[in-house]
Structure 1
Amino acid sequence: MDIPPPPAPEPPPGQGHGPGWPPPYPVPQQPWYPYPQPFQEPAKTSGLAIASLVTGIVCCVPPLGLVLGGFALAQIRKKGLRGKGMAITGVVLSSIATVLALVLAVSGGFGAFWDGFREGIDDAKSRRSTMDLRKGDCFVVPGGELEREVVKVNVVPCAEPHDGEVSGSFKLDGSAFPGEQRMTALADQKCWAVEQEYAMDSWALPVEAESYYYTPSQQSWKVGDHSVTCAFATTSGKLKGSVRNDARRLDPDQMTYLRAANAYDRVLAAGPDQDRVEDDLDGFKKWAGQVSEVLTQEGTRLRGRSWPSTAQDPVDARLKEVDLAQKEWAKAAVAADADAFYLHSGAADRALRQATEVAARSALHLATTPPATDSGGSSSGGADGGSSGGTDSEETDGGSGSGSGSGTEV
């Protein structure tokens, strides 16, 4: 039995039967796309693995990295997280650090190691450029040599032994580097006044405290270091405790008396460079006039204050001597010759007795032991200078400067 062929497909609408139908190729069909598959997120990294690695590298607490690594491996296995390599590395590093720590502990070296580690951190924190020293900072010079070019120092609490204490600073004028000689001269002149404001009672200064300063180097000048830093420092032993005695620690009566006395000390120190009056009579007479004027101001200052009852008589006694010395200096200012100058300046010097000054200081609760260099009513001291150099990023040494000044402070 023959099976008839299937009927021919119907042509599309609008087309009739004819030759070539059905077409030799299948009619194009609309393409088929499968449904989109859900997005697969990558496995997260274990935070414990990261912590184990960091702790193992830092070695701050060796067993901690070991413990964190163990927990991280268990977490990775259970939750399918990433970070197995980091966890294993952290475990290995922590294991090595733990063994070393145990060895050091048994041998007694761990304490020394830890102390050295902490000291290294403390030194890094306290290290400061000489350009960045501030009033009141106490510092230690690495190596202990002050009289050299210094780039950085370690700032320490003033209660600890230290090499110096910053009393203040002043800015140098101009845009061009002034040169070592000019800076030294200015430092000798101005640092003393800065120090007198910081430590007003010079009699209270430790005997080893000397006037000192840091000046800019040519290199540091180029990056904006145009200031001279003044300080009290010592080259013999260490200072301990702050030398500061100013408005923070003195009462108004003490400050009034000390301002008058310090002004007299400064003008005495500003005398002519010549040793003999005969070599510069006019210069000495001009200076005598300045001393007379300062003593007039001192007398006005002492009279203008109402002193405590216990201090009134000692201050009055000092005031009488100030008036007498002022008159003698005024006569020296118009002396006809060197002999007359010697006569009146000597009388002025004898008029100010140290015993009277000690009594006034005692009544005002100030230091009563004169500086070791004190003689009569005045004394002289030295001032040495160093140089600051370089910057925080480039440690270049500058030149050193030194000079000398006179006064009762140091």
Structure 2
Amino acid sequence: MSNPYGGATPPPPPNPYGAPHGYDGGGEPPKTDGVSVASLVLSVLCCTALIGVILGFVGLSRTKGGQRKGRGFAIGGLVVGLLVVLLQIGGGVAIVLIRQSMVSPSDAEVGQCVNVTTSDDNIFLRKKDCSEEHDGEVVYVGKWGDVPTPPATVTTDEEAQKAVCSALVGAKAATFPKDLSWKIAFDEDDADDPAASDPFICYVESDAKLDESLL
């Protein structure tokens, strides 16, 4: 467009708001922030998610005002990292609660009601309130040396286990329901060749759910 008053056309006025995204139009454009990229990468890894969160906060500061590109990486790293950290905390709490609910010969108590879960050849006993429906109950806790002359097949023969455990429980065993299964359990490391000092438990299990303590 020509100048109606003659002379050269004046340049356009400067933008009062500055160049978009903090870039002033001179020199090289802003580079992508490596810290922000690292934040997203580290956030998706299970062992470095917390570092990713920290770098996400740093990346937000470094990309503020468009001084560096990569703000989206920082935001993504921050969000993903927080989710991964929360999942890790939730998983850790769940593992602790599961472990606290498990019953083993080393920490079992007589009269503890349990639910019984079998996986392959492994048996897991979980604590259960005796007033609620449950599978069975711990009826004896002791050392393997408590058994004077254990049958050679006691670790595999349910009848032998019943004979040993009912003798240890004593007269109270006669009041138990007749359809119970009597079983012996050792800590995993002791199961194949128990020594006299190894802890073990006797527990009974019912096909029908029990809703009260037997002892």
Could you tell me the TM-score, scaled by structure 2's length?
A: 0.44
The structure that is helix-richer by fraction is 1
Higher radius of gyration, 1 or 2: 1
Could you tell me the TM-score, scaled by structure 1's length?
A: 0.27
